[in-house]
Chains A and B, each alone.
Chain A
Amino acid sequence: MSTPILSLRGVNKSFGPVHVLRDVDFDVHAGKVTALVGDNGAGKSTLIKCIAGIYTPDHGDFLFEGKKVEINGPRDATTLGIEIVYQDLALCDNLDIVHNMFLGREKKRGSILDESAMESLARKTLDGLSVRTVKSIRQTVASLSGGQRQTVAIARAVLWNSKIVILDEPTAALGVAQTEQVLNLVRRLADNGLAVVLISHNLNDVFEVADNIAALYLGQMAAQVDKNEVIPRQVIELITTGKSAGVESVGAKK
């Protein structure tokens, strides 16, 4: 397989006495959806927060496109083209779609906000993702449905020519139809060449869109395997016990 766009090697992270991540290896490929699964407390959120620069790992290496990089803050991550879409969305209800999509990175002419440029680009991005459910991009986010909000959050992540988009439980709060919509969008992102990391509890979702599955168990990477090599039962075993017959665990590889 090609060089992963992002590789983590031996990443450790502790919060006081709690050792949350232990020697985690993790690979992300461009054009693929990599699902990150694991039980509550397995360290999924901590891992992606390390990638996003919100936490700094205690030790461990990050390789971006084969080169060693340091990520010491959210700015470093976004500079590399890593965008993260949080579970709790991180949208401002009181601002409209355009404002939210450009939040923190507003387009300006001099010191004045360039609303027209932002609106055009937001519109183009949403169209490019074939998003047709939003009535007006000048409506406040408060008035959107859960699926629409998720769509806006994802659209914001791809607005920046990003290379890696990390989605934290994007379908957790959605109904059936909206879940389908968001999963289609996830697939489309990968098909457009982005590296997508999908965190999910829902194995149906995982098997529907993922190419590659990484299972965390108690802070350790139990296995990272191709989707076609495993069946859901094995993934469940990886999540609940950290090993499964017939799946080579990462530890065994060493």
Chain B
Amino acid sequence: MSSSEMVETATLKGAMHDYWSRIKAGDIGSLPAVLGLIALCIVFGSMSSVFLTPGNFANLLTQAAAVIVIAMGLVFVLLLGEIDLSAGYTAGVTGAVLVILITNHHVPWYLALIAAIFVGVILGFGLGSLVARLGIPSFVVTLAAFLAFQGILLLLAGEGGTIRVEDKTILAVENSNLTPTLSWVFFIGVSIIYVLVGLNRINSRRKAGLKSELINLWVLKTVGLLGILGLAVFALNVERSNNPDLVSLKGIPYVVPVILLILVIGTFVLSRTAFGRHIYAVGGNAEAARRAGINVKQIRIMAFMICSGLSAIAGMIFASRQNSVSPTTGGSSTLLYAVGAAVIGGTSLFGGKGKMSDAILGGLVVAVIDNGMGLLGYAAGIKFIVTGLVLLISAGVDAVSRKGANV
């Protein structure tokens, strides 16, 4: 038995075959998002001379950042088959808390950020408790919270309407960059850790006498991923200021390491801890999880807390990008873009399927549509329609692939 298994994926061809049968079984993962992203970049790149410039690339990342962070939080909730419609305004409210503490009360930025995340986690605890303990559908709870949080944000913003933030660290997140040298150091550090973690996994499986990932496939994947990242760092290190003597603009925006850090921690929690495993279990079959002795209510509440806590970090990113918080921060299309990002990336609305990187891929797709169509001069109305259609297609692909898996 084990020997026949070895044969099964001992070749690259076998691995490709496995992948193909997984796709046919409805497990398409983030393939549509990757293909979509490539296609969009080709289309916009050929239609607009600005789209594929380093300046626009950096722009794109900072535009997408807040939505990506909210989407990463939403992945936890979506994995349970729940939704948080209030995540956008949670970012708004927590952003307001952050800015009020810094600007009005002169609290250091890190304490203010901790306080804002704490407020987010408390809000999430409230939402999660209403869903898990009272059994109100998350759709209704968070729809109510959507309105209520908007109200809280209006009250916090007060008569003036906007609260400015002058704190250098907070502003740097979206507006400053690592120096080119530091950018490369960062890239090399990330690469070394990635390779070591991968090698360690393969090695420990070999030691235990288990079938491990094909070494040359892993090398291929690693080289591909790190190659793309390296290219991105190279592009970001190009001077992108129109007037370099006045202000120099080059290097990785600070927000990128922030997102990568959340990605790494989130992925670790979801795939390497019992808590993460239980989130997938509850999303796949809550009754089975309950019978296996998992505290389903606690898992639900924790997921909402994580989601709202990450929204607070998104609130900080919003504050940094807008230099202020206003009653519309985290409003209008923010939440829908974030849900769209997670779903476009491959996270299922039905629960049980998805990962942190989905939020990044999907968030980039959404941002590329927004950015590219903006460059081509389309009206906001058209952008909304196209993004809506893309979301609909992704949700459709999700539903159809789910059907395919069940037949």
Inter-chain contacts of B280 with A (CB < 8 A): 92, 94-95, 99
One of A93, A99, A117, A138 near B277 (C-beta < 8 A): A99
- Contact present for A119 and B208 (CB under 8 Å): yes
| Bound-state Cα–Cα, A107 to B204, Å | 15
Q: Which of A26-34, A108-116, A181-189, A208-216 contacts B (4 or more CB under 8 A)?
A: A108-116
For the complex, give the distance between the alpha carbons of A250 and B378 in Å: 82
> B104 at interface (Cβ–Cβ under 8 A)?
no
Q: A103-B294, A120-B209 are in contact. Are A94 and B352 (CB under 8 A)?
A: yes
Mask: chain B, 288-328; 1 = CB below 8 Å from A; 0 = not? 11011110000000000000000000000000000000000
Determine if B274 and A108 form an interchain contact, defined as CB atoms under 8 angstroms apart. yes
Residues of chain A within 8 A (CB-CB) of B273 are: 111-113
- Give a binary string over B1-20; 1 marks a CB under 8 Å from any A CB, 0 the rest: 11001001000000000000
Tell whether, in the assembled complex, residue A117 and residue B294 are in contact, meaning their CB atoms are under 8 Å apart. no
Contact-residue size bin, chain A (C-beta under 8 Å from the other chain): 35 or more
B332 within 8 A of A: no
Size class of the B contact interface (CB-based, 8 Å):
20 to 34
A95 touches B284 (CB 8 A): yes
In the assembled complex, the CB of B200 is this many whole angstroms from the nearest CB of chain A, namely: 12
Q: Does A127 contact B (CB under 8 A)?
A: yes
Q: How near does chain B come to A87, taking the closest CB pair, in angstroms?
A: 12
Instruction: Tell me the nearest residue of chain B to A78, going by C-beta.
Output: B293
Are A117 and B208 closer than 8 Å at their CB atoms? Answer: yes
Asked if A207 is at the interface of the complex by the 8 Å CB criterion, the answer is: no
For chain A, residues 62 to 114, give those with C-beta under 8 angstroms from any C-beta of chain B: 74-75, 78, 84, 86, 88-95, 99, 103-106, 108, 111-113
- Does A3 lie at the interface of the complex (its beta carbon under 8 Å from any beta carbon of B)? no
Q: Are A74 and B291 in contact (CB under 8 A)?
A: yes
Contacts of A91 in B (CB 8 A): 285, 288
Asked if B25 and A103 sit within 8 Å, CB to CB, the answer is no
- Chain A: minimal CB distance from B282 (Å): 9
The chain A residue sitting closest to B21, CB to CB, is A143
Task: Name the residue on A nearest B207 (C-beta).
Answer: A116
Which of these, B204, B289, B405, contacts A116 with CB under 8 Å? B204
Contacts of A204 in B (CB 8 A): none
Proximity string of chain A (136-180) to chain B, C-beta cutoff 8 Å, 1 when within and 0 when not: 101010110000000000000000000000000000000000000
- Residues of chain A touching chain B, judged by Cβ–Cβ distance below 8 Å, are 54, 74-75, 78, 84, 86, 88-95, 99, 103-106, 108, 111-113, 115-117, 119-120, 123, 127, 132, 135-136, 138, 140, 142-143
**Interface CB pairs A-B, < 8 A, 29:** A74-B291, A78-B293, A84-B291, A90-B292, A91-B285, A92-B352, A93-B285, A94-B284, A94-B285, A95-B280, A95-B281, A95-B284, A99-B277, A103-B277, A103-B288, A105-B292, A105-B293, A106-B274, A108-B274, A111-B273, A112-B273, A116-B208, A117-B208, A123-B2, A132-B1, A136-B5, A138-B211, A140-B27, A142-B406
B residues contacting A by CB (< 8 A) are 1-2, 5, 8, 25, 27, 204-205, 207-211, 272-274, 277-278, 280-281, 283-285, 287-289, 291-294, 352-353, 405-406
Starting from the known contacts A92-B284, A94-B352, A136-B8, 20 additional A-B residue pairs (CB-CB under 8 Å) come to A74-B291, A90-B291, A91-B285, A92-B289, A93-B284, A93-B285, A93-B352, A95-B277, A99-B277, A103-B277, A104-B294, A105-B292, A112-B272, A113-B272, A113-B277, A116-B204, A116-B207, A119-B210, A132-B1, A136-B5
Nearest 5 pairs of A and B residues by beta carbon: A104-B292, A92-B284, A116-B208, A94-B284, A94-B352
